[in-house]
Structure 1
Amino acid sequence: MTANPIRVMIVDDHPMLRDGVVGSITRQSDMIVVAEAGDGAAAIAAIEAAKPDVVLMDLQMPGIDGVEAIQTISRDHPQVRILVLTTYVGDAKALRALKAGANGYLLKSAMRTDLIDAIRAVHGGGRHIPPEVATQIAVHAIGDALTEREIEILSLVAAGNPNKRIAWRLGVSEDTVKAHLKRIFAKLGVADRTHAVTVAAKRGIIEL
């Protein structure tokens, strides 16, 4: 063990995944795991005592999710570097995490090969963004983003609500819902509700 190892906190609601990450890190002479947490609230509560250099943060967790936790940690502990762990390539989700203060983005499918290098990269002041994520961000950056109301409507569509029920829930006319859907389809480059939901979920715009 080096004199000043990189202090790592792991935040993920799957114990088996945390165990795997701990195993990988403990084999490194320049790293040490100082804390684990199963959700964003536990991470925020533990960070003061743990004093990590790098936080590995899952995005989808119960209660306080990864993006909210990243915002809080970045605000209160700006010296801490944050590396997102996620199963999603989606550009919207990646952008939210990076805008919240994350310094890198690592796909869980690439953890076996890229985890250690990614930790060292963000700890050294750099960023780690996989090429496939960077490509998705670039491809969609020039397009029109969905508005909050459009995301709300698409989430209701994804939950199986027909237009009439969406209109009732939002207090608008059914024609207004149809107009919103038409704009959503155009922005996402799709022709129907099912494809719109699939594309939006893949890009991380909505949660399924």
Structure 2
Amino acid sequence: MKTIVVYARTAHTGKQISACATHIGLPQIVKAVDCIPALFIALRRGPVDVVLVDVALAAPDPVKFTRTVRTRYPRTGVLFTGAADPRTAATVAAAGALGFIKARSGGADDLLVAFAHAIVLARTSLVNTAGDVPRQRPLQPLPMRLSEREVQVLAGLTEGKPNAEIGRDLFVSEDTVKTHAKRLYRKLGARDRAHAVAIAFRSGLIS
């Protein structure tokens, strides 16, 4: 069975990412690692289709990191996430990376949301290219309908925006955003921001 390897900052973040993978329906093909040795052990064991990497962990030279992985494992794609400028995103793409999913800060929540996006994108790629990937489970109906405002807040969460920025976009206070977020978490049965994003992807609220 092919694998998506997620290179995260800490073991705790790795566990959270693995939990997101479970909610999206990918518990068997997502593996989280938190150091370079563990990453290359996973690559040697293979086959690995995609490595999702926090760009901060590829410092000081994400281009070299990309070329090293692509040279040693040409069938493995590299997808970055995190906070980086457009020039860095362009240079890693030129070096052979699949792309770059930007997080608005280095905060754990933002990176976790970006990883949720990346896992979904990577899974789409796997489904389109591999016949041995497990089929996604049927979409499950949501227990309660989200209000228009809750959907707007959820959209902001999926873009990795902090509550204050979502509030500015919607012309409401940060406290109001937090209230809407708590309500949509309850309706979705989500524990936190990343869990809500995963459920939204899984339920078809976000495409």
**TM-score, with length taken from structure 1:** 0.47
User: TM-score scaled by structure 2?
Assistant: 0.47
User: Relative CO higher for 1 or 2, CA cutoff 8 Å, sep ≥ 6?
Assistant: 2
Which structure has the greater CA radius of gyration?
Answer: 1
